[in-house]
Structure 1
Amino acid sequence: MMGAGKTAVGKALSAILDVPFLDSDVEIEAAANMKISEIFARDGEAFFRDRETQVIDRLLDSQRGILSAGGGAFLSERNRDLIRAKGVSVWLKADLRLLWNRVKHKDTRPLLRTADPYRTLKDLYEARLPYYEMADLAVPAHASYTIDQMATKVRDALEQRPDVLEQMT
């Protein structure tokens, strides 16, 4: 989910493991030469999701490292299958209150540009939860954790999958 810490934790984890950090949203923005919010506004969410799948597939084929995918990416069965076949999915399991505290003062979330952003976030959270529960690993997030502590928790969870860690190093 947005606000879970995918980018910050992903960067910290990539440093711990000494592997590249990849961000599908950054790659999409670079390819389109526009911000995600602009892509949503101009072309719509369906167009964006198609590009997202293409970028995730390319990144998983071309590099080994930590891939941060957008919060809606895992809703796609194709994306889940790609990630499962080529790596391991990790859900940064943050509760709704923590997510809201992290995103409520930011205007960079196109999906929250609604009359009631909290209700929108709550609806997204509830709709996405069953998909996130399909992740290979779930790592509980707490407001008290620093980014480095959370990255360490993810590394510890990944030790359950030595096949993945061996591929990355």
Structure 2
Amino acid sequence: MHYNHNIVLVGPMGAGKSTIGRLLATELGLPFFDSDREIETRSGANIPWIFDVEGEEGFRRRETQTIIELLQEEGPIVLATGGGAIMRPENRAAISQSSTVIYLHTTIEQQLQRTAKDKNRPLLQNDNPRMVLENLFAIRDPLYRETADLIIKTDRQAPKSVVRLITKKLKKL
């Protein structure tokens, strides 16, 4: 199956956006980009460092610029966005205009399992990651839903099964 426009994956930390995005891109014959990796490559610094030096606001500015550039310059692509990218209206506008948006939905349990040992997630470096994830979910879930063309549950599913489900649904769109 060859797909001729951008696909953007949104969803919380640990939903599988990068893993599923990579497999989906291969399946569809499109290049894959991860906005967090691109930000690190372009700035020559890792995300925790950017958060420390520029704060979350500085990071979010870089994120918006990166997402807009990737969607305009590289297309068609599969793009995995950071969990918080959905918060900025300009990001929601950019991805909605130019892409099929897929919300990878997962439970807090799965997020905790998948992010437990990851030190590259500044928002979770505290005593109560569960509470942080629950609070982020409450704020972000309605925005993911509002922006998404498709909502796919990734809980207890192998990435390959999720990709099969997505390609089946893309054919129907």
Tell me if TM exceeds 0.5.
yes
Partner of 1:59: 70
1:1-169 to structure 2, matched below 5 A, reads 1-63=12-74, 64-134=76-146, 135-143=148-156, 145-161=157-173
Q: Work out the CA distance in 2 between the residues paired with 1:76 and 1:136.
A: 18
Q: Work out the CA distance in 1 between the residues paired with 2:54 and 2:109.
A: 31
Q: Measured at CA, do residues 78 and 160 of structure 1 come closer, stay the same or move farther in structure 2, by a change above 3 Å?
A: farther
Which 5+ residue runs of structure 1 have no aligned equivalent? 162-169
Identity of aligned residues (%): 34
Task: Say if 1:139 and 1:157, in contact at 8 Å, map to a contact too.
Answer: no
TM-score by length of 1: 0.90
Question: Once superposed, what is the RMSD of the aligned Cα atoms?
Answer: 1.1
Q: Secondary structure at the match of 1:89?
A: strand
Deviations 1:23-67 (A, max 9, x none): 111111111100011101111001111111111000000121101
TM-score by length of 2: 0.88
Q: CA deviation at 1:156?
A: 2.0
Q: CA deviation at 1:152?
A: 1.4
Which 5+ residue runs of structure 2 have no aligned equivalent? 1-11
Q: Work out the CA distance in 2 between the residues paired with 1:106 and 1:73.
A: 19
Kindly tell me the number of residue pairs found equivalent between the two proteins.
Answer: 160
Deviations 1:84-122 (A, max 9, x none): 111111100112121112112322211101121111111
Extract structure 1 runs of 4+ deviating beyond 6 A: none
Deviations 1:69-88 (A, max 9, x none): 11100121111111111111
Task: From the two aligned structures, give the one with the greater strand fraction.
Answer: 2
Task: Say if 1:24 and 1:56, in contact at 8 Å, map to a contact too.
Answer: yes
